[in-house]
Structure 1
Amino acid sequence: MTPRTTTTTTLSPTPASAASPASPSRRTSGNLAADLAALAESRGWATRPAFHEGHQVTTHGEVHDLAARAATVLAAHGVGPGDRVLLALPDSIAWVTAFLATARLGATAVLANPELPQADHEFMAEDASVGLAVTGPGLEERFAPGRRLGADELLALARAAAPADPHPAGPRTPLYVQYTSGTTGRPKGVVHCHGDPAAYHELIGRQLLGIRPDDVTLSVSKLFFAYGFGNAFVFPLFSGSSAVLVDRRPSPAAVDELVARHRVTLLYSVPSAYAALVADRALGHAACFASVRAAVSAGEGMPAGLGERVTDLLGAPVLEQIGSTEAGHAFCANSLAHNIPGTVGRPVPGFEVELRDRAGNPVPSGAEGELWVKGPTLTPGYLNLPEETARALSGGWLNTRDRARREPDGAYRHLGRTDDMEMTGGITVSPLEVEDVLRGHPAVHEVAVAAVTDGQGATRLWAFVVTGSTDDSTGIEPELIALARKHLASFKVPRTVRVVPSLPRTPTGKLRRHLVRQGAW
């Protein structure tokens, strides 16, 4: 294979004159913000709800009008084509407005979790050469004077501004940068382009989920993550439907209330949040979920049995899928027409999937291998990291570092990450297999297994479990070791079981295994 050697540092918008205040009615081919505004107008969606934030409803027409005016405000603060704007905002109309305004100017949005430590924001701002940061309150001191604009100020100024004319863009013009979750170390900036969101919606939102204008979305995953970006921004704006925006991750009680109040039809979440939703409830359908027609799960594999419990609670199918920041959204997914519980479904239309060994050679049918993906929305590469780009992207294929097996019906069963494997006593062990067994104990809510090095340098298999209550933890350690001995080979049985209050997770809900391996966090 010939490594892909292009680097994202050379990516820039198609040259054109700077945006200036003017009528936004002229449609420019390829600019996402302009094309979405034209789509809403042509489909008659202008007065339809687009976003629910608290008790405020913003229509599709209002969103695009406000964004066109906000673009004028950003331009007055020095933002032009090719510039990068950091968005460190919670899910809100301000986030949507700032993103569309940035796109309208031909600039690139850098999406950041507003709750990250200051050092992470500083790293992203420097790594992406950010010229302006749009933030909420509490982050004023993180950015130099003149290089920060408050979200409230942006909205206030936008209401009095004239709309900006959209800057021409092509489908491969950079649109936004998302940083990887950093489960194994330093995050990497992943570039996506103006043509990608339309593909997310067509291939997944329309073809697999059948999203309609009367759908209402609630995504527990936030807009600044790849999964949430597609769910709560792309799909509603491309389908004429609406999404509920919540500024922080909702508790199970808040999910109940939001679904009931807004008559949510599509629920998107991660396995750990679904587990919390069903915890301490009697089995069976809950009345507050009567409107839900489908739920989607991504971020990690759904533990055995959890999907069935979630289906019982919601009275709707749970569709597992797998994606990555590099792919922009899902590349394998179950659908309403083809749902195989326990798998991440078949390749999304337009994507090719191969299983390869560590040398990059295809594995035999039915064998386990590393998941390689090729498709229309793969990133051109990582910011400022040409060697990382060449390692991850080869001949148009992305090495996802996920392990999987293809089932006879064409669906893929996810078997964890290549960096999830543990080495103990010279033998490689999959922690997922051990975790599945320990999760069979009724007191175990969550579990993580890792090889931990002790003070003498010996590596032993440890299990860290979260129980339902302190009462549940009494005497559970010997019970779990006995359970493992009953179902597993001796070298897969944890030497130590420790009850912990919680597991270390990223904001997207993914387990930070590199921290679990340290034995403390």
Structure 2
Amino acid sequence: MTPPTTLRLTPRPSAAPPDPRAVADGHPGRPGTARSRPGNLAADLADLAERHGWTRRPAFHQEHRVWTHGEVHDLAARAATVLADRGVAPGDRVLLALPDSIAWVTTFLALARLGATAVLVNPELPRSDHAFMAEDAGVTLGVTGPGLEDRIPPERRLFSDQLLALACTAEPAAARPAGSGTPLYIQYTSGTTGRPKGVVHRHGDPEAYYEFIGRRLLRIGPDDVTLSVSKLFFAYGFGNAFVFPLFSGSSAVLVDRRPSPAAVDELVARHRVTLLYSVPSAYAALVADRADGHAACFASVRAAVSAGEGMPAGLGERVSELLGAPVLEQIGSTEVGHAFCANGLSHNTPGTVGRPVPGYEVQLRDGAGAPVPDGEEGELWVKGPTVTSAYLNLPEDSARTRAGGWLATRDRARREPDGTYRHLGRTDDMEMVGGITVSPLEIEAVLRTHPAVREVAVSAVTDDEGATRLRAFVVPAAPAEDAEALAAEITALARKRLAPFKVPRTVRVVESLPRTPTGKLRRHLVRGGSW
């Protein structure tokens, strides 16, 4: 079904009961972090900063402005009053379509303080995607910035600069009671059909991300400075640049768009970044065309984390040599909220995604659901405290993916004798590009609308630098007299209809596509370009 192109927002009914699809069983608080009992995340983080004396320490760096932990929590409490005045109440869902910024951070914390649920979306998505997500989640308000005025009706829209301006003179709002199982935020992930699926996470989940990964595996402390290439509206970036700094008293550098390699150099040097988070394609760009050896601008970096897609052979070693620091690979998912299998500072096996994160169980199963022995390939299943209980509004998909508390990740892997896992790709047709899951079916459907296209297949290919790029293989409806002109038209169509990260970097005109005798596309041959 084609998503709607006009955003329809759902007025909040009075005294509405909690949505049972969004409420999951809570889990107990964990020692050594924000609380020993369930509570409101925003209030607990503010209390944590106060108790540990972090209120005057840097929390976020944006351009040339530094925001302390105390300033962030105070502004968020005041922003909560502004949102409440606009009608936001406990249980409401609010679309948050902003780039990484102090506005994103304070809006999220303000919604948490009110007991509302933030619907986190990439601001660069097409209008139809925003419309679908807003309607699917039943949002009552949208907070956004310039360039997205047409996405949200004026009566249900609040610009982030307006929110922050009003917050400066507002009174702080008291935090609403919230247990660890109360819905906190929704992120959307794509399925094999390309339809986004809403994943609900709870007030208690971020504490687990920090406790199990940030504190135990990465040993993050108040003196760390984070730079995450992955953005806050993705699960990976949310943990890196929002959760970990606020739970540890450290700070993060916020960049409103994906930084170029030159920008990464400058930001790391200027802010003395100690923890760098990125994806393999971005790391490949970072090491491209550089002289061998350690670069002086990375002298402060003590560790780099890689996720989102497999690290090509040899790339991790080149990155580690450049940074003068270990590269720690991990794997996670939107459904889990962050990593569930990871390397850490005390155990790092390059070429693998490490061992199961403390607090999580991992199994490898065959197609029938039976466990597979070490050394054999299987599908990764994971069980743990932050695994979502269900997809929003999709009971059949939820039942198919969840079984007895276990989540089928659709990732293929092999368990090595030392207990580490080697990632072998996906079991479905999804592609990973720059750390983002992309459905080739969605892209192919758009490209197929060009009148000169008969067949098309889209795949992620690895270039000479180790970066993963999308490539479209097109069979023309008639012999192409000018293949370059056709490729240019197809690229222009993709740029008009798709989000930037879904636009193929290259288009190759071919005579045919590899298919089985029954007519099914052999995607593994498309990926290798070997037919």
TM-score (norm 2): 0.77
The yes-or-no answer on 1:156 pairing with 2:152 is no
Distance 1:90 1:264 in 2: 21
Q: What SS does the aligned partner of 1:101 have?
A: helix
1:380 aligns with 2:389: yes
How far apart, in 2, do the equivalents of 1:117 and 1:451 lie? Answer: 20
- Selected match of 2:83 from 44, 61, 74: 74
1:11 counterpart letter in structure 2: A
Could you tell me how far apart the structure 2 residues matched to 1:240 and 1:448 are? 37
Match of 1:484 in 2: none
Return the alpha-carbon distance in structure 2 between the equivalents of residues 403 and 236 of structure 1.
Answer: 32
Contact 1:174 1:191 in 2 (8 A): yes
Which residue of structure 2 aligns with residue 185 of structure 1?
194
Partners in 2 of 1:444 and 1:266 — Cα distance?
Answer: 23
Displacement after TM superposition at 1:115 (Å): 0.8
Deviation by residue 1:434-486 (Cα, 9 ceiling, x = unmatched):
xxxx96x9x56546799979689xxxxxxxxxxxxxxxxxxxxxxxxxxxxxx
Partners in 1 of 2:72 and 2:406 — Cα distance?
36
1:228 correspondence with 2:237: yes
**Match for residue 57 of structure 2 among 48, 52, 56:** 48
Assess if the C-alpha contact under 8 Å between 1:13 and 1:81 holds in 2: no
Find out whether 1:11 has 2:60 as its counterpart.
no
Secondary structure (helix, strand or coil) at the match of 1:188 reads strand
**Equivalent residue, structure 2, for 1:113:** 122
Instruction: Check the 8 A contact 2:304/2:328 in 1, yes or no.
Output: yes
Residues 79-94 of structure 1: matches in 2 within 5 Å? Answer: 79-94=88-103
Aligned residue number for residue 255 of structure 2: 246
Q: Is residue 128 of structure 1 aligned with residue 137 of structure 2?
A: yes
Equivalent position of 2:405 in the other structure: 396
- Name the CA distance, whole Å, in 2 between partners of 1:158 and 1:351: 40
Kindly indicate whether the alpha-carbon contact (under 8 Å) linking 1:28 and 1:167 is maintained by their aligned counterparts in 2.
Answer: no
Match of 2:316 among 281, 293, 307: 307
Contact 1:252–1:276 (8 Å) recurs in 2: yes
SS in 1 for 2:54: coil
Q: CA deviation at 1:13?
A: 9.9
Tell me which residue corresponds to 1:261: 270
CA shift, 1:503, in A, is: 8.8
Instruction: Determine whether 1:338 maps to 2:347.
Output: yes
Letter of the 1:53 partner, please give it. Q
2:337 pairs with 1:325: no
- 1:264-279 correspondence to structure 2 within 5 Å: 264-279=273-288
Cα displacement string for residues 286-338 of structure 1 (whole angstroms, at most 9, x for unaligned residues): 00000000000000000000000000100000000000000000000000000
Distance in 2 (CA, whole Å) between partners of 1:91 and 1:404 is 33
Return structure 1 stretches of 4+ with deviation > 2 angstroms: 7-14, 181-184, 443-456, 500-504
Q: Distance in 2 between matches of 1:8 and 1:80?
A: 14
Q: Which amino acid in the other structure matches residue 298 of structure 1? A: A
CA distance in 2 between partners of 1:200 and 1:179 (Å): 18
Name the counterpart of 2:325: 316
- Which shows bigger deviation, 179-188 or 99-108? 179-188
**How far 1:10 moved relative to its partner?**
3.5
1:173 aligned onto 2:158? no
Q: Does the Cα contact within 8 Å between 2:59 and 2:249 map onto a contact in 1?
A: yes
TM-score by length of 1: 0.79
| Aligned mates of 1:8, 1:159 — CA distance in 2 | 33
Provide the rounded CA distance (Å) in 2 between the counterparts of 1:232 and 1:86: 20
Q: Identity of paired residues, percent?
A: 77
Structure-2 separation of matches of 1:445 and 1:257: 23
Report the equivalent of 2:155: 146
CA distance in 2, matches of 1:98, 1:415: 38
Q: Which among 17, 29, 41 is matched to residue 32 of structure 1?
A: 41
- What stretches of structure 2 of length at least 5 have no aligned partner? 1-17, 26-35, 432-460, 478-503, 509-522
- Determine the C-alpha separation between the residues in 2 that align with 1:54 and 1:449: 31
Change (3 A) 1:238 1:318: same
Measured at CA, do residues 306 and 94 of structure 1 come closer, stay the same or move farther in structure 2, by a change above 3 Å?
Answer: same
Question: Residues 209-228 of structure 1: matches in 2 within 5 Å?
Answer: 209-228=218-237
RMSD: 2.8
Give per-residue Cα distances to partners, 1:356-388, cap 9 Å, x unaligned. 001101012221100000011101211101111
